[in-house]
Amino acid sequence: MTLSADTLGDQESACENADYEDARTSTMSRMSGPVTILGLDDDVLREIFSWSTASVDQVWGVGATFENLAFNAILRARHMYLLARICRRFKDIVYGHAALWAAIVGVPGDDESLSFVLQKTSQAPLTLVRPFFDAVPDAQHDFAKHNMHRFAILRLKQTRDRNWAPVLSGRTLPTLTGLSVITHQDPFYRGPPLVVGQTFPVKTQPHYEDDIPPLYAPNLRFLELQAFYIPFRAPQLQDLQLTSIRGLSPPALMDALSALPLLRRLSIVPGRPSMGPQDDLPDEWRWAGSPIVSLPNIEYVHLEGVESTFVAGLFTSAVIPLSAGISVHIGVLAGMEDMDAIASALRRFISYPAYDSVRFQSGVVFDLFTQGADESAPRISLRMPIMSTARGYNFFECVAKVAQHLPRRHV
């Protein structure tokens, strides 16, 4: 029997369709039952592990809560421990994948565990964090001091015995993505100040020295400095937290912000640079000489314990998108003229037409919301001093100063 070309083509097509249906049926039958861990490739397991810890590895976070590097690393280690207990394959993946191990568990506390981690991780970037109340062991301190290039995430405590400024300044650290330096000083310590620019009377207030070489971290995304400061260059920085940086003048602050084009979140708790009025400050401590800086990617600004001059100076010198979230906790109100200055500084944001809800709370809080927003997430939040009524004015006088800048339909 002779078959035509068309007949042969039809038979080949029918065979291909039958093969496809058999493969599809086989695949569906396998998918209908539970997929065991033994049936997964190593690459898939690595992905599961990475994603299971990624939720606490976003060091810049979302919303109004700024992340904590120590909490993140501890939670990552807990997730790793729980997953590794599921079966031996998870444990093999973690122990066998140096970069994954280093990113999750960091550096343990004792010398034996430190040696084990260094052996497992080879040259993978490490994490070194400790809660604020825990001292970094000597072995960790010495290793970090001499191997800064090995670390991706560092949370360090500055003390009179361990000064990180000369270790960090002038270094180039391409692997560093998260850095936190917090100063802890014994209240009974009576020696010289621990940090360049520690608090002094305003007329003798020292500057952070200009000749200190900056830290260059091209991949740094998160930076927290508390009562500690060195110049830095971090073009990829997205989250900056500055607390009690009393020796940093307004022009120097704006100069630092001008080099952060990708900055998304900014938190400043300045500490008071003086106990006297603004008129008594030296010229270099006035906002009037600060450069104008554009921060086009800012999504959230948090100021806490600030005076009216700081609020007015920052929002005059920094060009911030109108849609940015703003949280201002006022530390001191000397009078209603201070409230006038704060309301004027925030006028551009308060009058933004996207806001359609206003909330007054506890006699100290003024919040603005966008339509349909969660009640726990105001876009503009202004908190007055709790003792404002004892100073001869009340909360609703403050509200009146702010409300004059609201769009008329909202009022």
- Which one is predicted more confidently, 271 or 41? 41
How do residues 91-147 score in pLDDT, each as one tens digit?
777 777 777 777 666 666 677 777 877 877 777 788 887 766 677 778 888 888 899
* Mean pLDDT, all residues of the chain: 74
**Does the pLDDT of residue 88 top 60, yes or no?**
yes
How do residues 31-80 score in pLDDT, each as one tens digit?
455 667 777 787 887 777 777 666 444 443 333 344 567 777 777 777 77
Which residues neighbour 398 within 8 Å (Cβ) at sequence distance 6 or greater? 333, 336, 339, 366, 384, 388
- pLDDT (0 to 100) of residue 295: 94
**Does the pLDDT of residue 339 top 90, yes or no?**
no
**Does the pLDDT of residue 89 top 60, yes or no?**
yes
**Does the pLDDT of residue 28 top 70, yes or no?**
no
What proportion of the chain, given as a percentage, has pLDDT over 90? 17
- Which one is predicted more confidently, 382 or 45? 382
Continuous segment of H or E residues that includes residue 380: strand 380-383
Most confident of 4-8, 119-123, 285-289, 336-340: 336-340
- Which one is predicted more confidently, 307 or 211? 307
**Does the pLDDT of residue 2 top 50, yes or no?**
no
* pTM of the entire predicted model: 0.77
Most confident of 229-243, 244-258, 274-288, 355-369: 229-243
- Distances in Å between the Cα of 27 and the Cα atoms of 30, 38, 42, 268, 273 are 5, 17, 20, 56, 69
What does the DSSP 8-state code read for residue 172?
B
Long-range contacts of 8-13, Cβ-Cβ distance < 8 Å, separation of 24 or more: none
**Does the pLDDT of residue 241 top 80, yes or no?**
yes
- Report the relative pairing of strands 355-361 and 380-383 from DSSP bridges: unpaired
Neighbours of 191 (CB within 10 A): 8
Task: Give the residue-averaged pLDDT of 186-207.
Answer: 39
**Does the pLDDT of residue 197 top 70, yes or no?**
no
**Neighbour-count burial for 376-408, b at 16+ CB within 10 Å, e otherwise:** eebbbbbbbbeebeeeebebeebbebbeeebee
What is the C-alpha separation between 396 and 380, in angstroms, rounded? 17
- pLDDT (0 to 100) of residue 138: 80
Q: Within its chain, how far is the Cα of 154 from the centroid?
A: 13
Name the pLDDT band for 152 (thresholds 50, 70, 90).
confident
Name the pLDDT band for 159 (thresholds 50, 70, 90).
confident
- pLDDT (0 to 100) of residue 10: 53
What is the C-alpha separation between 66 and 267, in angstroms, rounded? 8
- pLDDT (0 to 100) of residue 289: 67
Which residues neighbour 246 within 8 Å (Cβ) at sequence distance 6 or greater? 197, 198, 199, 205, 227, 270, 271, 272, 273
Most confident of 58-62, 273-277, 385-389: 385-389
- pLDDT (0 to 100) of residue 158: 85
Name the pLDDT band for 196 (thresholds 50, 70, 90).
very low
SS3 (DSSP) at 381: strand
- Which one is predicted more confidently, 59 or 370? 370
- pLDDT (0 to 100) of residue 234: 96
**Does the pLDDT of residue 8 top 50, yes or no?**
no
- pLDDT (0 to 100) of residue 109: 65
Name the pLDDT band for 272 (thresholds 50, 70, 90).
low
Lowest mean per-residue pLDDT among 20-34, 100-114, 147-161, 371-385: 20-34
